[in-house]
Amino acid sequence: MGHILGVLILDLGMHTGYVSNQIRVYNLVPNAESRLNTVYMVTNYTGGALGSFIGTYTWGLWQWNGVCALGFFLLAVAFIAHFSVCNTKSPTV
């Protein structure tokens, strides 16, 4: 039962993030939803395919220890990228 609940929560989180990101992308340029959606979807699926490949490759080399280390490494990269971008934004007047 715990696994089912975990999968449902993970699926809900993924869909929530997906819709939130699409809304943010659509607000970038008015009347360019089709082009922006194309770029978003290509980027989204390319990232998913690349992540699957790297995860599978890492599993083949180091099993769970490698996959967990890869996850923590990518989390650290995202954390650093997020806060370095947030700090370089110029204040709006």
Tens digits of residue pLDDT in 29-69: 889 999 999 999 999 999 999 999 999 999 999 999 999 99
**CA nearest neighbour of 35 among 45, 25, 44:** 25
Within 8 A by CB and 6+ apart from 25, the residues are 36, 37, 39, 40
Tokens for 12, please give them.
């809900």
Q: What's the predicted TM-score (pTM) here? A: 0.72
Residue 71's pLDDT band (cuts 50, 70, 90):
very high
Answer yes or no: are the C-beta atoms of 70 and 55 closer than 8 Å.
Answer: yes
